[in-house]
Structure 1
């Protein structure tokens, strides 16, 4: 069961509690939480239902890449569907409801589709509902319309209570991404005297680096980030904007930025969102990477998350997904999650590494902590439907024969990392397959 830990939570302030409502239930969080972390801290792992088969869904990520934890936010004139719980900052009085179920999230009649899946393949509806033709208007169409989509559409007669604005901005260097790479690029460009505009989509600077720790230029990571942000903030030729996403990069140095001004403080005066129309001489994309999931039966059961997300919830919000987490990976990075969980007093019964030779120094560190590591092994299937109750283990190179069953209540999976190349591709940049790193990266020779 997900819960709030006694330690952890570098982005939260537990001395400032907040109340919010989810599906009519009063819950509590703390300042700095996202809606997802606050729900997880309250033991609410189930956050939605899948589109077609209405299977239970919980969060799988912790950021903008989240596909499952989509909710309706607000009421009346401030109602908005399909918002990610993982990027929604918690505020006192927030109201949210889950989507795509009837009559309730826990008991959904639509879940019967799971048992009818063999009769509901992709495209079946194109032939199924043609005959008899008289049934289309009064029977087929109303059912299809009711089933379509996820969130409810806002009332057409309700006037939006918020205001919005857009304006033009001109700069020498536009940097998209406020992680360590983006901050370093901004320091370099600003030091040359160029006008710099730095955009970061989240509320905090530094990206993932503070979660994993380490040092930069002989300083602890967080200290370096704080010093860099302070130095940039003191420069007259630098503009820093967090909660601002690079939404598009086009020809001739034209880019769009989407700023969320008051989503985290809806009662504040001024516009809610702002659209930046930017002209830049140079554009730097420092957009980081996204962890890939792994394929195995049941990898969509609530409680199965990306290993980096499990680590994020522990370090950033002081929230555990479960008390007993199995880690499955094909790379070294997921060992960081196992080590993090162990150091916070949580149990990691086993790490399953698909590589026959296993990992390197991080694997040795995990084994030194007493964590069992199985090399050349993978998950055959996840047990449980509404939540994880266990996993079955098989050989990675084999026919899937079950070797062992392990009880657990969470799974952290890692299939490696892929660079976020969307904006590079958006402006016509080409990609090349990197065999050694196993991902597509920008082909600088064909920019």
Structure 2
């Protein structure tokens, strides 16, 4: 089961407990939690249903890339559908509800669609609901409208206020990880006006989670020192909870700041749209971990390996007691070591590479964790949560070689750089075969870009 750990939790304040509701059930969390972390800490693995077949859905990631944990927030004039649980900060009095099910999340009659999937191919409705035409208005349309979509559209007038703000600077840095902080510091040292934005509530990216050392300092200490330097500069504006959401021609950019999402009713605007004019834009937006493909990889409890690590280190949340790690690269071995340090069990690491990894794999084996090389996942067992995995040869035909009991599968298919802003303003990508990813092509920069 998923639960709160007694150790770890660098982002939470255990001295300030919070109370919130999910589907009418009162749950607890801590200041600094995301809603996803709070739900996992309360052993709420099932968070929603899929769009078409109503398959059980749980949290997959830990950030803005989350595709599954989409939640209804608030009620009446404060209602908002399709909010990501991974980016919603928990606060006292928060009201959340799952969506896309009837009559309940645990028992959803729409799940019958999964059993009938062979009769419901993509686009079947274009032919099925044409005749007889008299059925459309009173039979077909009401049913389709009731079942379409995930969340429901708000009916009441929005109670919150919003504002927009114009800002001018020479350099805008998007991303508050190590690279973004260093870029902002270097630009600020030249005396130009700098705007630094970070979409999460915290700075430093993955470095503090993974225990990176920078200039002889622990990543967390380096980040705190650099932020203090930037805050002391009159020519620097720094904003967290602010997403760089668009880059256009001639140095025009948009940033979307969430001001009072986590402090409703305090009199501040809820969101602010920044309209930025700048001479140069630096995108230091990091990378997103890729999932792996195998049967059952959408069952609640199958998560990205980096996300499992985030929940343990940042929020002191264990997604499960027994975790099987499946990977095709070295980075996922960090998750195994992290789980072991937290006192959790890792019965097996499944590595698709016949030759395996390097120093991290050796560290894992030295810690007593079994590594299966040249193996893959044939199928994840379970319904509303993971109960085990079936292992097969990666280069074989999928025959099951063994079964391993577990309640979490941490998967890693490598990393892809976040190139959204580069592509948004016309920048081209090239395929990097050595690193198996698309990356920006320096020879084909965005049209009209200055940096």
Tell me if both proteins adopt one fold, taking TM over 0.5 as the criterion: yes
Deviations 1:371-403 (A, max 9, x none): 000110010000011110000000111111111
- Whole-angstrom CA distance in 2 between matches of 1:111 and 1:47: 15
What is the aligned residue count? 445
SS in 2 for 1:446: coil
Quick one: distance in 1 between partners of 2:59 and 2:264?
Answer: 25
**Aligned ranges 1:89-128 → 2 under 5 Å:** 89-128=89-128
Q: How far did residue 159 of structure 1 move?
A: 2.0
CA distance in 2, matches of 1:369, 1:9: 23
Please report how far the alpha carbon of residue 20 of structure 1 lies from its aligned counterpart in structure 2 after TM superposition. Answer: 0.2
Alignment match, 2:11? 11
Please name the residue that 2:227 is paired with.
229
Output the CA distance in 1 between the equivalents of 2:77 and 2:138: 32
Partner of 1:214: 212
Q: Measure, in 1, the Cα distance between the counterparts of 2:184 and 2:361.
A: 35
Q: After superposition, what is the alpha-carbon deviation per residue over 1:54-93, rounded to whole angstroms, capped at 9, x for unaligned?
A: 0100000000000000010011111000000000001110
Q: Residue 176 of structure 1: which of 174, 177, 187 is its match?
A: 174
Residue 319 of structure 2: aligned partner: 321
Give every structure 1 segment of 4 or more consecutive aligned residues whose post-TM-superposition deviation is greater than 4 Å. Answer: none
Quick check: 1:56 aligned with 2:56? yes
Unaligned runs of 5+ in 2: 446-451
Alignment of 1:287-306 (within 5 A): 287-306=285-304
What is the rounded CA distance, in whole Å, between the counterparts of 2:436 and 2:191 in structure 1? 38
Q: Secondary structure at the match of 2:145?
A: helix
Trace 1:115-194 onto structure 2 (pairs within 5 A).
115-155=115-155, 158-194=156-192
In structure 1, what is the equivalent of residue 309 of structure 2? 311
Task: Could you tell me which runs of 5 or more consecutive residues in structure 1 were left unpaired when the two chains were aligned.
Answer: none
Partner Cα separation in structure 2 for residue 441 and residue 37 of structure 1: 31
Which whole-Å CA distance do the structure 1 matches of 2:434 and 2:331 have between them? Answer: 16
**What does the per-residue CA deviation read over 1:121-150, in whole Å, with 9 as the maximum and x for residues that have no partner?**
101000011111111111111100001110
Q: Equivalent residues in 2 for 1:357-376 (5 A)?
A: 357-376=355-374
Aligned residue for 1:70? 70
Whole-angstrom CA distance in 2 between matches of 1:393 and 1:399: 12
**TM-score w.r.t. length of structure 2:** 0.98
State how far apart, in whole Å, the 2-side matches of 1:208 and 1:151 are. Answer: 31
Listed one character per residue, the Cα deviations across residues 273-331 of structure 1 (whole Å, up to 9, x for unaligned) are: 00000000000000000000000000000000000000000000000111000000000
- Give the 3-state SS of the residue equivalent to 1:113 in structure 2: helix
1:184 counterpart SS class: helix
- The match for 1:36 is 36
**Cα shift at 1:214:** 2.2
Task: Give the superposition deviation at 1:269.
Answer: 1.4
Give the CA deviation at 1:270: 1.9
Q: Say which SS state the counterpart of residue 40 (structure 2) adopts.
A: helix
Q: C-alpha displacement at 1:426, in angstroms?
A: 0.4
Residue in 1 aligned with 2:394? 396
For 1:301 and 1:162, how far apart are their aligned partners in 2?
36
